[in-house]
């Protein structure tokens, strides 16, 4: 385990101890319990924004036939979700349609010609995306997509936002007491990453602000 991971686990246990929330657990047993929850906290947090670039990647797929559907998990074992689909060497962005919009726009008919968009499908209710290209697909056609990686781990998490995972672990163990604190911390991170896409800028919160938030929120929501 890395020093960073040990650090936030120790911080989390300290917060619980300072608020008399360890109960019958010793520090060591609570530390182990939080450690076991760390990956699930990462898994949940990375889905909070499509702008978390550390959790995304881009993949290029070359079609070998004219079938307009593609199971992304089969074509790319790292994919967990799909965000943006682009076509050809120019990376032309294809519009995403939902099923009902597709039926309304195209009357439920098969669509020929240059691909106009795509519809997300689910493969046998597995939760992994299947893409249906709306248009003609040919051998050697190239599709590039931006996706959420399925193998994101603690090591990928930005060091400046470790406190988000700490608060997430606390929230998993004591939901009522730390839910607001976690939501607040996660929203700070989302705002920081999404601000540039809105043409703005969001500065990192200072360590003093982070610590003040922890003290204020933990005291407020633990009664």
What is the pLDDT at residue 214?
59
The Cα–Cα gap between 5 and 35 comes to 9
**Rounded alpha-carbon distances, angstroms, from residue 186 to 15, 66, 189, 190:** 18, 43, 5, 6
What is the pLDDT at residue 209?
64
Classify 79 as helix, strand or coil. strand
Is 43 in the same domain as 67? no
Its domain, for residue 117, covers 53-149
Decide which of 91, 121, 149 is a domain's last residue. 149
Question: Is the pLDDT reported for residue 7 higher than 50?
Answer: yes
Is 145 in the same domain as 159? no
The Cα–Cα gap between 205 and 223 comes to 26
What is the pLDDT at residue 99?
80
The Cα–Cα gap between 46 and 153 comes to 10
Distance of CA 213 to the CA centre of its chain: 24
For 196-216, what is the mean pLDDT? 66
Is 133 in the same domain as 78? yes
Is 85 in the same domain as 119? yes
What is the pLDDT at residue 20?
85
What is the pLDDT at residue 124?
64
Is 78 in the same domain as 102? yes
Q: Encode pLDDT of 22-48 as tens digits.
A: 877 788 899 999 999 999 999 999 999
Is 16 in the same domain as 86? no
- Under the banding of pLDDT at 50, 70 and 90, the label for residue 212 is low
Is 25 in the same domain as 109? no
- Asked if 144 contacts 59 with a C-beta cutoff of 8 angstroms, the reply is yes
Q: Interhelix angle for 162-173 vs 175-194, to 10°? A: 150
**Rounded alpha-carbon distances, angstroms, from residue 40 to 18, 165, 209:** 25, 10, 26
What is the pLDDT at residue 109?
75
What is the pLDDT at residue 96?
93
Cα distance between the two ends of the chain: 33
Q: Which residues contact 24 (CB under 8 A, 6 or more apart)?
A: none
What is the pLDDT at residue 24?
73
Is 57 in the same domain as 116? yes
- In the chain, DSSP finds a helix count (H) and a strand count (E) of 7, 8
Which residues are 223's β-sheet partners? none
Please, what is the average pLDDT of the chain?
87
What is the pLDDT at residue 219?
55
For the chain, what is the domain count?
2
Distance of CA 9 to the CA centre of its chain: 21
- Asked if 37 contacts 172 with a C-beta cutoff of 8 angstroms, the reply is yes
What is the pLDDT at residue 223?
45
Q: Extract the tokens encoding 21.
A: 């929330």
Is 145 in the same domain as 201? no
Higher pLDDT, 22 or 185: 185
Q: Encode pLDDT of 74-127 as tens digits.
A: 899 999 999 999 999 999 999 999 888 888 788 777 788 999 999 988 766 667
Q: Encode pLDDT of 56-88 as tens digits.
A: 999 999 999 999 999 998 899 999 999 999 999
Rg (CA), the chain: 22
Nearest CA among 212, 171, 150, 163 for reference residue 4: 163
């Amino acid at each position: 385990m890395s020093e960073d991971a040990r650090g936030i686990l120790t911080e989390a246990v300290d917060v619980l101890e300072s608020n008399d929330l360890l109960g019958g657990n010793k520090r060591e047993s609570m530390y182990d319990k939080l450690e076991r929850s760390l990956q699930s906290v990462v898994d949940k947090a990375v889905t909070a924004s499509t702008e978390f670039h550390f959790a995304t990647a881009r993949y290029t797929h070359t079609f070998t036939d004219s079938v307009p559907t593609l199971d992304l998990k089969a074509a790319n074992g790292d994919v967990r979700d799909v965000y943006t689909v682009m076509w050809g060497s120019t990376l032309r962005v294809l519009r995403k349609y939902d099923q009902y919009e597709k039926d309304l726009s195209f009357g439920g008919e098969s669509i020929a010609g240059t691909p106009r968009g795509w519809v997300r499908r689910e493969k046998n209710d597995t939760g992994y995306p299947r893409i249906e290209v709306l248009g003609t697909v040919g051998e050697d056609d190239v599709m590039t997509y931006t996706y959420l990686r399925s193998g994101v781990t603690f090591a990928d998490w930005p060091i400046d936002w470790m406190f988000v995972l700490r608060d997430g672990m606390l929230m998993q163990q004591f939901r009522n007491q730390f839910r607001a604190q976690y939501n607040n911390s996660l929203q700070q991170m989302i705002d920081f990453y999404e601000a540039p896409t809105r043409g703005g800028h969001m500065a990192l919160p200072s360590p003093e602000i982070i610590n003040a938030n922890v003290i204020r929120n933990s005291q407020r929501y633990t009664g």
